[in-house]
Amino acid sequence: MPGQVITRQTVLRRAVATGTPVNSLIKVLVTFATTIRLENVHPLQGGILRLKHPSEHRPGLPRERAFIFWPRLLWETLAKHAVIIGTIARLLLLKLAITRDPAARTYTDTALTPVSDGDMTLDLLTNTTGAQAAVAHLKKIAESTRTARATSPS
């Protein structure tokens, strides 16, 4: 469904249903959930500890005093790590709830539904003529492969 928001819970449910390692997924979710909010950078540019030094300042601005800089940096770091720990705790509790659910392994939604031959209702396969041609080509190859297997001597 276009415009549908995929929640962390949905991602974890899909991971459990498909056998994806949930703990590895949680590491990625924590990074993507916190980096933009805390550091205002893309998650692939972030890290656990941001290195700053008082000599690194914008040109034209006065150098910040050390007795102001270091306590503020310590406080910012502790506050950011508290947010990260809270996010990890929420995701681990969510993981625990999902993995204890007896129906977790059988969870399914549109994204997990296997595509069948008559599935030409998906927008990706019907919106463009190029996509329709690609599907027709794949069906043609599959048919010729089946025909070649049936006629080849074994």
46-104 pLDDT, tens digit each: 877 778 887 877 888 888 888 999 999 999 999 999 999 999 999 999 999 999 999 98
pTM of the predicted model, to two decimals? Answer: 0.68
Count of CA atoms in the C-beta half-sphere (13 A) of 86: 7
118-137 pLDDT, tens digit each: 655 666 666 788 878 888 89
DSSP 64-127: PPHHHHHHHHHHHHHHHHHHHHHHHHHHHHHHHHHHH-TTGGG---TTTSPP-TT-TTSHHHHS
Is residue 13 within 8 Å of residue 6, measured between CB atoms?
A: no
